[in-house]
Structures are given as C-alpha cells and as structure tokens.
Structure 1
Amino acid sequence: MSNFLYLNTENIPSLPKSITTSKVDRDKIKTSIAHIGINNFHRAHQAYYIHELIEKHNEMNFGICGIDLLESDRKLYNILKDQDGLYTLLIKNSNGKHETKVIGSIVEYFYGPENPMATIERIAQPDIKIISLTIAEDGYHLNEITGEFNMKHPEVEEDSLNKFNPRTVFGYLIQVFNLRKKRDLPGYTILSCDNIQSNGDTIKSSFLKYVNKTDSSLLPWLEENISFPNSMVDRITTVTSPIDIEKVKNEHATYDQWPVVCESFSNWIIEDNFMFDKPVWEKVGVQFVKDIAPFENMKLRILNAGHSILGIIGTLSGHTSVHEVANNEDCIVFLENYINNEVTPNIENTETQSISTYKNQVVSRFKNPFINDKLSRICKESSTKIPIFIFPTLTEQLKNKKTIEHSAFVIAAWCKYYDGVDDFKNPFDILDSSSNQLIRTAALSHQNPELFLENNDIFKNLVNHKSFKERFTYYLSKLRSLPIKECLVLMNEKKL
C-alpha cells in the first residue's frame, strides 16, 4: 500500500498540512484567460499570480484555460489532465525557508495537435478576454539576421497554406480572430510574457505581417479590437528533476508527476494597455506602468546577462550550477565589476527600484543554494541570448567611447566555450542551434581570432569596431594561455 496520495481534486482534502492547498471551490472559477504555453515558467509566474488573486481576494472571474501547441508538450498535457490541472509549486528561499503549495488557477486544458479546431473554438468563445503567451523565442519565428518576423519559416509557410491544421501560434490566432469577427464579438488583449525585449510590440508586428500576407481583410478589425501590451516577468524557475518529484512525495506524501521549483523573488511589470477588463493583479504585487523599458532593460542587462556570463565563465571554471559559480568570489566580483563599469552607465533606475538595489538582489538570488539551476540550461542557445543580453551594453559603450574590457572578455570566453572543454580538460555538451558554425569558427580562431566574429547574423556591426576586435583578440589569447581562474583574478585586480 502506498504511503502517498496522487495529486488531484478528489484527494485535496486529504493532503497533509505541510502542503498549502486551495481553499476555494474551483468549480466556481470562471475562465477568461487562454494561456498558450503551459511551461514551468508560466506555472511559477502567471498562473501563480492568478492563484494568489483567487485565494487571497476571491477573484473568481479570471481562471486560466491552458493551451499547448507543440508535440513536445504532450507529456505535460497528459499529466495536467490526470491531475485536474493541479500542480505543486516549490518556492525555495535562500534562507532555507521553503513553501510548497498546490496551484489551482488552471481550470481547463486543451492540446492543439490532438484537436486543433476544438482548441480554436475554445479560444474564440466570448468568455475569453485575454490571450497570454509563453511560447519562448522560437515561437515568434524571428529572422536571425533582421530580428523581424520570418514569413519564410517552414512552419509559418505551411500554416499560411494549411489554415485549418495550424502548427504556429499565428496560425491558431488568425482562425480565432476570424471567428470572433464573424460572430460580431469583441476582441482580446494579447499579453506576451516571454523573455523578449518589447515582447508586446514584437508579437504585434509579427502577427500583423502574418495577417497582411495571409488574410489582409482582417487587419482593420485587429486594429480596432486587439491590444498588445508589453510585459516584463522575473522569477528564476528551474527544470523539474526526479529529485523534486521524490521530494514532494517523501516530505509531503503527495505524488505530483510534474511539480515546479522556483525562487521566492517574483516580479511582474505590465504596460497598462488592455483592450477590456483586466484582473486586479495589483492586489498581489503586479505593477501596471506606462512604459516598461526601464524595468526591462534592468532585468535583461543585469539578471539575464548575469546568468549568461556566469554560465560561460562558470562552465569553463568547472562548475555545473549557478549557485556554485555565484559563490565563487572571483566569478561574482567579475560580474559585479561588469555591471558597475559597463551596464550601469547605460540604464536608468526604475520608478520603484535603483540599479544598485536590483544588482544586489540579483547576486543574492544567484547564490541561492536551494535553486539547483544548471549551467547547461543557462548556456543553452547562447547564440540567441548573448546578442540580446550583452551586445546592447557593448554597443552603447563603444558608441560612447567608454570601457569595454569586461564585455570583450566575456565574448572571448564565449569563443573559448565553443572549444567544448573546461580548464580541467573535462568535456561538456554544447546545446545551441548554431553550434556547428560556432564550433567551427572557434576552432579557426586558434589561428586567427577574428574568424570567430565572421558570423554577421550574430555579430552584425560589432565586426567593424577596431577597438572591440583588438580587445577580443587580446583576451582570447590570455584565456587560451592561462587558466580562467587566473584571468579572472587578474581582471579583478586590473592587472590583465
């Protein structure tokens, strides 16, 4: 006989007191948000905020209809269906105080590949007021060179021809909007929550281009009935491991097949540009602002860039997790100097927080030993992350003729990263869609360092800056002749 209970609605009353459970009747929750992309990040962030609003303020009108569109989402779909949309959130504070709670805000669930027309019909129903998205960078199908929507992407082209069996979010949405238009129903707010700068502007630009090519008659209705607010979301969320599943089972006598682990820090900034009603998220800490750019720049250039920098130098130093490298004094001092000397001059304080305060928070969050965030995850697809998180700082420093020493060092370390071995000669996996080319150019850089910079899709105008190429070449030679630990010490002492 098992000594645990399966997580589902029936077993909620019998779960132990060590796990916080829902106090409301979930059957009374009305669905008005269709969320596309039910990944760990959504479940640690947006679904969490809706849950808090329901539990603490009895706001029952903004339940979530979860929607997944990818074949790779089938496992999670099956699990959430089996668990009645319920899952446990493991919130881990750096001081060792942890909270485990059952989140109940996802009250419906659809899987697009199983029945695309049923999914489209559900989103088109009049009760849905907000369509939110966490579809990751790949879901936006942006051109690697221009950053614009890639109409020639194979899946996009297929959707434009095969409209009733879509594969992309654009293919689904155009069918949804056509139904709402034909039925003389109001539109939606499309709320992107992805880690893309100006995410609302990005999805708007991309979708309007898609519609213009496939069904331009819909454009006037879209302009009148759809809004695309920008948003910035901030909460470190890790990949669920078998250890996390066993932890919930052993410590709370509850079997959740896919729990979510996150830190206690959480922030959500949204541009106040909703088409119709919006949840009163401000009651649970969400900020509605006119301009999210200051918040967004601070997060992208400190937290996201910091993650990538620690991922690269940490991997080369032989570390495997974020908290390990963040507690390495040489590495964290290097990061702090990068932020102070090169990032800070190019961003401004937000309405509610100073750069210095945010930097200190980020460093503390990185050091959290209970968030076992792997460097392999941080470094995954770094060819798309580095240009977004680090190049803007580097470009502005070059433009203003200011120091680029730390930025150039990071790019040189990134080149060495593609050699595929750390300073102890231990190999590591490189997970990057551009890895073949970058591994090749990194190998060529042993003879001519500038060959690593030959990919104009990634480096763009940076290859034309003589001072950048000189500093990159210098630091690459040092990294290839000295251990990275020694290089970091010398950098921190201003002796390199």
Structure 2
Amino acid sequence: MQKSFYLNQENLSLLPANVIRPTYNRNDITTTIVHIGVSNFHRSHQAYYTNELMNKYGFTDCGICGIDLLDSDRKIYSILKDQDGLYTLITKQPNGVNRIKIIGSIVEYFFAPENPVAVIEKMAHPNIQVITLTIAEDGYHLNEITGEFDMNQALIAEDLKNPLSPNTVFGYLTQALKLRQHRDIGGCTIISCDNIPSNGTTIKNSLFKYLEKAEPELLDWVDQHITFPNTMVDRITPVTRIEDLSYLKNDLQTEDQWPVVCEPFSQWIIEDNFATQRPQWDKVGVQFTQDISPYENMKLRLLNAGHSILGIVGTLLGYHTVDEAACDNDLMTFVEHFMQEEVSPTLDKTKKTDINNYKQNIIARFQNSHIKDSLTRICKESSAKIPLFILPTIQDQLKSNKHIRLGAFIIAAWCKYNDGMDENGNNYEISDELSDILIRTAALSHQSPIRFLEIEPVFKDLINEKIFVDEYLKAIEALRKQTVKKCLRNINSSH
C-alpha cells in the first residue's frame, strides 16, 4: 500500500492527478481580505469563491488572512498553520462521486488571543479592503429578548476596560478602525456572512452602539468610510466526520487533519455597497444586487426553516441525518405543504418562478444521501433558529389573516421535541443555551400546554394571538395523544 503524506505546500505535487489544486503561486498573493471566524462554512464558501477567482482568472490581489478570536478555535488554527493554510474541500455529489479540491486562498493566519496587537495591525493594514465575518449569532452579542446589541454582556464590558486586549469582534474592529482613521488609510467594507436577517445592518448597528460607549469620536468617520452590505449565503456544510479523513488517507494517500465536506450547490448574494474596489467575485458566480431582502427571506424561510422542520420532526421520528428525514414521504409532504401554503405567500417580493425553482432544488439537496448532515447539528440552538426561520412566516401570515395551521404544528412539535425522547423511546440531548427553560417548560406543558408559549425570549407576544394559540393547542393535544406519523398523515390528508 502506498504511503500517505501530510497535506502542506511542499507536498502538493504528490497529490493524485484528479485532485484540483491551486494553479497560482501562493507566494505572489497579496492579502486584501481579512476573515474573522475560520469555520467550516467559511472554508466551503467565501474561501472557496476566492480560491476559484485566483485559480480560474489568475488574480493575485485577493488573498485571505484568517483570524480566530476564541480559545475554542485553537485546534483549527494549529491544524491550518501546520498545513500552510491548505485544506481539502470534498464536494459530495448526489450520485456518490466526490470532487476533491485543495483550497489555497487562506495565505495568512492569526490566532488573536496569542497576539491581539498583531491582529489589530493586520486589520488596519492599507492593503485590507474587505473584512468578512462568520462569527455565529453568539458573536453579535444580541439581547435574547430585544434582539438589540447588549452592552451589558461580560465580554463587551471587559473590552471596554481593556481596549488593546479585546475579546470580541467589536473590540477588534474598533481598534483597527481607530488606527485606519489615525493613519489616514481610508475605509473598508465589513461583510457579515452569518445566517441572521439583515446581517450587514445588524453588524453596523451593533458596532455603532459599541462605538458610542468606547470611541464616540470615531462614529462620524466610520459612518463616512465604512460600508456594511447585507448578504445571503447558502451552502450545506455538515460537520467533518472521521470517515472523511479516512477516505482521503486511504483513497488519495493524503492526511488532511480537518478537511471540509459540502454539497455541490452554492450561492452568495451581496448588496452592492462597497467602500473600496470590490473583489471580482461575480466572475465565479457571486451575485451583486441592490436589494438583498427577497433572496434573504427566501433562503431563511424555505431552506433554513425546512432544515429545522426536518431536524425537529425527524428526530421525533427516530431519524439521525437530514437525508433520512427528507426521504420520509409523510414528513417531506408536510414540508412541501408548509413551503407552498404558508411560506410562499410571504415572499411577495420574489418571482414565483424563482421560488418554485428554489423549492425544487431544496428537496433534492435535502435528499443527498452522501452529505449525512446530522439532525443533532440542525437542532442545536433551536431557540435562536426558530425566531429567525419559522416565526416570521407565522407573524406575516397572521397579519394577512392567512393559514398558520402548519406553522403552529411545527411549534407544537418543537415543544414535544424538548421532552427529549423520540417515538421509539430513545433519549437524545437538548443542546441549546435555553435548554433548562425549554425542558422545564415542555414538561409543564403536559399539564398546561400553553406554558411553552410563555418563553418570552423566543415567542415574544405570540401568546396573545388567539388564532395561533388555538391551532397550537390542537396540534400539541394531537401530538400528545397520537404518534407523530399519524399526525403528519392527518394533516397531509386534509390538503
């Protein structure tokens, strides 16, 4: 058996001929992009697009400097440093064929806790034109109830006291932008790539709230020189499994300590609002638009909501992966009814043909049996996802006096999910910041079903909507008395 080799710059030439690798000289690349939060998603999405731009068109002025802020990021930082920033992207086709590509667009890397000043200096470097973020919702430090930036969080307070040793993205951005102003370097574009509504507006508003307290004299300069375009990002990127590492080692003799797995589909739409010259990502499929909202709503309310439904109801049915749940005809029929009857009417700014094409695409993507995206991952932090993916549809439907029966069933199913046991009597863990509240309130709902809707950080004043409450109570009663399968079939048969 052929001996395997470690993935790094020196060993690129040892890769099999069918592996696509960087055709550009990485030593010639100029770093103009800083990315904060080098997640699997960043590596399958933004870093992928940038790699394509360099590989296909020979651009040398769009290298990425990765920056990780959290102690928990030390492992990925160490691995990518060992691998000279290189990693394998495994794109799993529905037919079982894997496309293997080595991504080389991350040409610099900093671990912020080791040297905060170096990170601030890098972000303030004259070459840096774009700062992108995948910091997950926690990284925005939003208040659970109001959804506004929370100045009272411990890490924010700590950053205000120790501005040159920040913990949060807001602390780092503030010091970097302060340097840019002081040195008359000029502005840059800050792009959130996280799954939150109006992500650019969110990061802007939060940063401005922080600046009001930390550096109020910087506000006018930031307002004039920094832009925050909203974006829509889309690519299913599951957790890397041990089988993926073994596949590379056994089939390609390559030892990559943290490859990334993704689906073939990828989409990135960015509001055309750049402070400086934008990277020419449009050459490799990125769309620039004046209004992001139709794309954003379609993605959050169809794809992300669909994922959450499959995660919650699929777990109750005893499934473990998205493709298993998506191949359950009763569950998938329910998802299709929800998308058609309750979501589509809320997407009034989007062309019907775009909606229909997107929905058909989603079903095929969910059913890709080679992705093996775990329902555990999908259900993690559901208390943050439900208000973003499901509740806006319910609220819009209520305003228009339209159907919310299916949405109410989803919330009732989530209540039952928090009992922590599937229909086969198997227990599963509730992984959520509000897990104590969710589990306790779900238990109380056996005697008083409405108690679950009293979780204010999630539902706000939804408990005051009588039409919704009535449908929810019917759904939770049915789910307590009958199997989930039977409930799904009863709902589907009425459509």
Alignment TM-score, normalising by the size of structure 1: 0.98
2:278 alignment counterpart: 278
Partners of 1:180 and 1:341 lie apart in 2 by: 50
1:303 alignment counterpart: 303
Structure 1 residue 149, shift from structure 2 partner:
0.4
Partners of 1:248 and 1:349 lie apart in 2 by: 44
Partners of 1:402 and 1:348 lie apart in 2 by: 14
| Alpha carbons 1:166, 1:172 under 8 Å: kept | yes
2:358 alignment counterpart: 358
1:214 alignment counterpart: 214
Matches within 5 A, 1:362-373: 362-373=362-373
> What are the superposed Cα offsets for residues 434-460 of structure 1, whole Å, 9 maximum, x if unpaired?
010111110000001001111122111
| Alpha carbons 1:129, 1:188 under 8 Å: kept | yes
Residue 39 (1) aligns with residue 39 (2): yes
* Secondary structure of the structure 1 residue equivalent to 2:460: helix
Give the number of aligned pairs.
Answer: 495
* Secondary structure of the structure 2 residue equivalent to 1:261: strand
* Secondary structure of the structure 2 residue equivalent to 1:227: coil
Structure 1 residue 17, shift from structure 2 partner:
1.4
2:431 alignment counterpart: 431
Residue 225 (1) aligns with residue 225 (2): yes
Q: CA RMSD in A?
A: 1.2
> Can you give the 5+ residue segments of structure 2 that lack an aligned partner in the other structure?
none
> What are the superposed Cα offsets for residues 344-390 of structure 1, whole Å, 9 maximum, x if unpaired?
11103647961111001001100000101000000000000001100
* Secondary structure of the structure 1 residue equivalent to 2:363: helix
2:128 alignment counterpart: 128
Partners of 1:165 and 1:111 lie apart in 2 by: 13
Q: Which amino acid aligns with 2:310?
A: L
> What are the superposed Cα offsets for residues 233-272 of structure 1, whole Å, 9 maximum, x if unpaired?
0000011111111111111110000000000000000000
Q: Which amino acid aligns with 1:270?
A: I
| Alpha carbons 1:349, 1:355 under 8 Å: kept | no
* Secondary structure of the structure 2 residue equivalent to 1:185: coil
Change (3 A) 1:352 1:220: farther
Farther off after superposition, 177-186 or 102-111: 177-186
Partners of 1:252 and 1:97 lie apart in 2 by: 14
Q: Percent of pairs identical after alignment?
A: 55
Q: Which amino acid aligns with 1:329?
A: N
> What are the superposed Cα offsets for residues 48-89 of structure 1, whole Å, 9 maximum, x if unpaired?
000000000011101000000000000000000000000000
| Alpha carbons 1:9, 1:84 under 8 Å: kept | yes
| Alpha carbons 2:441, 2:451 under 8 Å: kept | yes
Structure 1 residue 187, shift from structure 2 partner:
1.2
2:325 alignment counterpart: 325
Partners of 1:19 and 1:249 lie apart in 2 by: 13
Matches within 5 A, 1:28-107: 28-107=28-107
Structure 1 residue 18, shift from structure 2 partner:
2.9
Partners of 1:352 and 1:51 lie apart in 2 by: 33
Structure 1 residue 119, shift from structure 2 partner:
1.0
Q: Which amino acid aligns with 1:106?
A: I
1:21 alignment counterpart: 21
Q: Which amino acid aligns with 2:72?
A: S
1:461 alignment counterpart: 461
Q: Which amino acid aligns with 2:30?
A: K
1:151 alignment counterpart: 151
Structure 1 residue 97, shift from structure 2 partner:
2.8
Partners of 1:457 and 1:64 lie apart in 2 by: 37
Matches within 5 A, 1:217-296: 217-296=217-296
2:484 alignment counterpart: 484
Matches within 5 A, 1:341-356: 341-348=341-348, 350=350, 354-356=354-356
Structure 1 residue 96, shift from structure 2 partner:
2.2
* Secondary structure of the structure 1 residue equivalent to 2:356: helix
Q: Which amino acid aligns with 1:261?
A: V
Farther off after superposition, 352-361 or 484-493: 352-361
Q: Which amino acid aligns with 1:362?
A: I
Moved over 6 A (4+): none
Partners of 2:350 and 2:77 lie apart in 1 by: 38
Partners of 1:98 and 1:457 lie apart in 2 by: 42
Partners of 1:283 and 1:457 lie apart in 2 by: 42
* Secondary structure of the structure 2 residue equivalent to 1:354: helix
> What are the superposed Cα offsets for residues 270-320 of structure 1, whole Å, 9 maximum, x if unpaired?
000000011111110000000010000000000000000110110000000
Structure 1 residue 98, shift from structure 2 partner:
1.9
2:9 alignment counterpart: 9
> Can you give the 5+ residue segments of structure 1 that lack an aligned partner in the other structure?
none
Residue 110 (1) aligns with residue 110 (2): yes
| Alpha carbons 2:2, 2:253 under 8 Å: kept | no
> What are the superposed Cα offsets for residues 81-114 of structure 1, whole Å, 9 maximum, x if unpaired?
0000000000111122320110000000000001
Residue 187 (1) aligns with residue 187 (2): yes
Partners of 2:230 and 2:343 lie apart in 1 by: 22
| Alpha carbons 1:398, 1:404 under 8 Å: kept | yes
Q: Which amino acid aligns with 1:80?
A: L
